[in-house]
């Protein structure tokens, strides 16, 4: 099992007292600095939360910049890696992310019920993949422009946190249809899903989705 130590940019709690932990997972070819600004936008809603955005364990080879959670074949037509390749990649990346989560919970002296996972694109795939298989369950998962990997492996899901799914209606990388397919799969195993369609938005996160996701996190933290 290849477990790599992860780290990335952090934001301390605005209140100075840490009661929640939000781990933010970046997309393919990016890094933690790309998404830590989400934490800055949520600090007023979540003044007791620490935010951390780890860099993924692998350097991205295509294009040669940033990091990747696992290899992806991305073309002008979007992600063309097979479902099995994505599943295998997420499985291989899981030990490093799980180890990072455990380290952060220990460092902050927080219970898993005070943890939320947030991800964009490939990071959203990882947030769902890992968060839905953690015991005890995290408080919530937020997926921006992602998808549930391995819908034929629903029997491996052990946690049922509430999930917020946001997706651009004209996403050119991860098809918009991935949102409804993910929602249907999660609903079939009684996971509460809050969907939000970013009308006219491509592969990105608009201001309304950011705001609603922050409200969702605040509501679901104990």
The domain ranges of the chain are 10-220
Contact status, residue 108 vs residue 13, Cβ threshold 8 Å: no
> What per-residue confidence (pLDDT) applies to 73?
75
| Dist. CA 89–CA 70, nearest whole Å | 5
Half-sphere exposure of 72 (CA within 13 A, CB side): 25
Contact status, residue 121 vs residue 28, Cβ threshold 8 Å: yes
Any bridge partners for residue 79, and if so which? Answer: 74
> What per-residue confidence (pLDDT) applies to 106?
97
The angle, 0 to 180 degrees and rounded to 10, between the axes of the packed helices 122-131 and 83-108 is 70
Token pair listed for 169: 């209606």
Token pair listed for 78: 């979007």
> What per-residue confidence (pLDDT) applies to 72?
84
| Dist. CA 164–CA 131, nearest whole Å | 13
Any bridge partners for residue 163, and if so which? Answer: 141, 193
pLDDT under 50: residue ranges of the chain: none
Phi first, then psi: give them for residue 20, nearest 5 degrees.
Answer: -140, 155
Exposed e or buried b for every residue in 189-210, given b needs 16+ CB within 10 A?
eebebbebebeebebebbeebb
**Annotation: CATH topology of 10-220:** Rossmann fold (3.40.50)
> What per-residue confidence (pLDDT) applies to 76?
56
């Amino acid at each position: 099992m290849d477990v790599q130590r992860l780290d990335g940019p952090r934001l301390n709690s605005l209140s100075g007292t840490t009661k929640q932990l939000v781990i933010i997972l970046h997309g393919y070819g990016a890094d933690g600095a790309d998404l830590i600004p989400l934490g800055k936008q949520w600090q007023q809603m979540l003044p007791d939360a620490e935010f951390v955005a780890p860099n993924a364990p692998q350097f991205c080879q295509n294009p040669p910049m940033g990091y990747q959670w696992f290899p992806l074949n991305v073309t002008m037509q979007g992600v063309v890696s097979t479902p099995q390749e994505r599943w295998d990649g997420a499985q291989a990346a899981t030990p490093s992310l799980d180890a990072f989560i455990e380290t952060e919970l220990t460092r902050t002296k927080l219970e898993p019920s005070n943890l939320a996972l947030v991800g964009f694109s490939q990071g959203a795939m990882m947030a769902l993949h890992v968060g839905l298989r953690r015991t005890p369950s995290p408080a919530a998962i937020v997926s921006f422009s992602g998808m549930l990997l391995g819908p034929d492996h629903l029997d491996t899901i052990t946690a049922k946190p509430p999930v917020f799914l946001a997706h651009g209606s004209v996403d050119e990388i991860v098809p918009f249809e991935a949102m409804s397919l993910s929602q249907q799969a999660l609903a079939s195993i009684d996971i509460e899903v809050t969907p939000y369609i970013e009308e006219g938005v491509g592969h990105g996160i608009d201001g309304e989705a950011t705001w609603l996701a922050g409200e969702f996190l605040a509501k679901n933290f104990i």
